[in-house]
Amino acid sequence: MRSSLFFAAALLAAVSILLSCVNDSNRDVVANVTQAQLSEQFLNYVSAFNDLWNGTTPADGDAAARITLPDWLPRNTNIQLRISGGEGYIYAPSSPGFYAQLLKETENSSHFGLSDATGINTPSGRLSRPDFIPAGYVVYVR
């Protein structure tokens, strides 16, 4: 009787460990897919935003309503677009792996950076951060 209880407890422990490993693996896959989706969505916003500059510099202010996104792409309220002093900014809250994925997909473009309390850190150096961009955001600067 004791040996069957011990065997059952050992079997339950082994199953628990295996399920934990599978859950960790699935969690990593979901995180990678989420990063890739967010990165691609952000890059679609960048493309639509750049289309505003056809010929002239657009007026300052919120540009979210002025861009034309593909029909299949839903609007993401976390992605903000703003024009200030002739410069264009797209910014969204940073999440683990998001900025790294953007840099990978854009071959370390210096147009992308991470905001902190005093500026925007890009692969080519530090830029000043406008007051409307919070710290801890991924930023595209045009």
68-100 confidence digits (pLDDT tens): 999 999 999 999 999 999 999 999 999 999 999
**Residue 9 pLDDT grade (very low, low, confident, very high; cuts 50, 70, 90):** low
Q: What is the pLDDT of residue 59?
A: 92
Residues linked to residue 141 through DSSP beta bridges, in sequence order: 89
What single-letter amino acid sits at 82?
Answer: R
11 has a pLDDT exceeding 80: no
Q: What is the pLDDT of residue 15?
A: 53
Which domains, and CATH codes, for the chain?
A: 34-141 (3.30.450.360)
10 has a pLDDT exceeding 70: no
